[in-house]
């Protein structure tokens, strides 16, 4: 019988090549508690740090992703770890891969590699996936660089999180102001990249890993990664979708209508997203943001190896559908259906 422990991020990840990935306040303990409460309510056995967790206290439901936190979960009987945290090479969980336990989430070394957004975009581009033009700018050369693209441009941290630290710049003056602001602080490291701005519709596609799923009471086996219905983003601020910690995604996102879902442009975007999932050998859902050019053709511009998994399982959380859950509802899943299907893809590092 599965006994599940949910891990949350307890500390900043290590700096890599001078780049720091920022940490979400609370380290995803909010979505971790959402997951744990939903599973508990539906009779799925979970282990918690305290014997009688308070439904409104995040940390009563989740374990820190430290050596001590993982060991405590094991002592309490956990045999499945839900990696609702930021992973990286040599993450503490890797030291427990020799145990007879299962995992929900990605392989840490894969996340470490593909969390570098510029590297990932170039990797996908080299595999014939449509990616906007991009260019790196470092703190060492940002006063003496030559742009290979026209304005407007989007400035992005190399290892960002969602739309945090992302901005639209319309001319060289705005770009230099933004670069100065980024490099004078320590939040995003010493390298950023700029990307051509596409002014068409923005969609988010959740890609599910290969595996067996239950949809409409039928078991379906997918031999390759597959896509949930695309979600469109609207009410952008200065051309950028607002960070979901500030604006709930239910206020600026909805599943595409039937005509759009069946359009050749969206179907082509699905094929590209599924190819990306296959290239990255995903073991859990990923989320890919795409944006259309003036002709309506979609380009993949941001790949997130750890989509948010918030959901309406606790008081005051009824407006907390994640982008993935919005998409899942379109195929008939509610929050617990999504979580159960993710659990079905739990993996072991050895047989």
pLDDT tens digit sequence for 124-178: 999 999 999 999 988 887 777 788 889 999 998 887 666 677 889 999 999 989 8
Tell me the pairing of strands 102-104 and 80-83.
Answer: parallel
Residues 243 and 178 in one domain: no
Residue-range definition of the domain harbouring residue 180: 133-196
pLDDT given at position 175: 92
Burial class (CB within 10 angstroms; exposed 0-12, middle 13-18, buried 19+) of 95: exposed
Q: CB 56: neighbour CB atoms within 10 A?
A: 12
pLDDT band at 64 (very low <50, low <70, confident <90, very high): very high
| Secondary structure class of 14 (helix, strand, coil) | coil
pLDDT given at position 50: 97
Q: How far apart are CA 306 and CA 27, in angstroms?
A: 12
pLDDT given at position 164: 72
Residue 114 scores a pLDDT above 90? yes
* Residues near 10 by beta carbon (within 8 Å), at least 6 away in sequence: 27, 64, 65, 66, 69
Among 56-70, 182-196, 247-261, 334-348, the minimum mean pLDDT is found in 182-196
pLDDT band at 313 (very low <50, low <70, confident <90, very high): very high
pTM of the full structure: 0.93
pLDDT given at position 244: 52
pLDDT band at 184 (very low <50, low <70, confident <90, very high): confident
Find the mean pLDDT for residues 230-252. Answer: 72
pLDDT given at position 185: 73
Q: How far apart are CA 147 and CA 29, in angstroms?
A: 40
Residues 209 and 298 in one domain: yes
Q: Across the chain, what does the average pLDDT equal?
A: 92
The domain that contains 294 carries what CATH number?
A: 3.30.470.20
Residues 140 and 68 in one domain: no
Residues 155 and 215 in one domain: no
Indicate the number of domains in the chain. Answer: 3
Residues 64 and 172 in one domain: no
DSSP label at residue 59 = G
pLDDT given at position 20: 73
Sign of the four-CA dihedral 233, 135, 304, 139: negative
81 within 8 A of 63, measured Cβ to Cβ = no
234 within 8 A of 252, measured Cβ to Cβ = yes
pLDDT given at position 342: 98
Q: Give a yes or no: residue 125 inside a domain.
A: no
Sign of the four-CA dihedral 134, 255, 238, 201: positive
- Give me the numbers of helices (H) and strands (E) for the chain, helices first please: 9, 16
256 within 8 A of 231, measured Cβ to Cβ = yes
Looking at the chain, the whole-number percentage of residues with pLDDT higher than 70 is: 94
Cα Rg of the chain (Å, integer): 20
pLDDT band at 278 (very low <50, low <70, confident <90, very high): very high
């Amino acid at each position: 019988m599965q006994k599940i422990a949910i891990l949350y991020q307890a500390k900043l990840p290590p700096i890599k090549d001078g780049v720091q990935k920022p940490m979400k306040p609370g380290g995803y303990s909010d979505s971790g508690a959402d997951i744990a409460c939903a599973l508990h309510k539906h009779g799925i056995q979970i282990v918690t740090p305290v014997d009688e967790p308070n439904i409104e206290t995040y940390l009563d439901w989740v374990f820190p992703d430290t050596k001590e936190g993982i060991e405590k979960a094991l002592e309490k009987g956990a045999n499945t770890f839900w990696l609702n945290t930021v992973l990286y090479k040599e993450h503490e969980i890797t030291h427990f891969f020799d145990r007879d336990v299962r995992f929900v989430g990605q392989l840490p070394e894969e996340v470490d590699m593909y969390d570098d957004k510029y590297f990932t975009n170039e990797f996908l581009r080299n595999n014939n996936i449509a990616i906007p033009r991009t260019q790196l700018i470092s703190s060492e050369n940002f006063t003496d660089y030559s742009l290979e693209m026209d304005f407007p441009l989007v400035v992005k941290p190399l290892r960002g999180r969602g739309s945090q630290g992302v901005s639209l710049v319309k001319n060289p003056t705005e770009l230099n102001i933004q670069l100065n602001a980024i490099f004078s602080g320590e939040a995003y490291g010493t390298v950023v990249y700029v990307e051509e701005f596409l002014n068409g519709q923005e969609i988010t596609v959740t890609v599910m890993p290969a595996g067996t799923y239950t949809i409409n009471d039928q078991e379906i086996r997918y031999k390759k990664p597959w896509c949930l219905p695309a979600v469109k983003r609207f009410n952008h601020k200065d051309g950028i979708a607002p960070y979901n910690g500030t604006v709930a995604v239910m206020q600026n996102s909805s599943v595409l209508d039937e005509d759009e879902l069946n359009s050749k442009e969206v179907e082509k975007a699905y094929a590209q997203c599924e190819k990306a999932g296959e290239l990255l050998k995903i073991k859990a859902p990923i989320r890919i943001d795409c944006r259309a050019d003036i002709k309506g053709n979609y380009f993949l511009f941001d790949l997130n190896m750890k989509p948010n998994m918030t959901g309406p399982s606790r008081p005051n959380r009824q407006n907390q559908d994640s982008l993935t859950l919005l998409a899942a509802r379109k195929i008939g899943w509610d929050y617990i259906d999504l979580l159960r299907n993710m659990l079905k893809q739990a993996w072991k590092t050895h047989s």
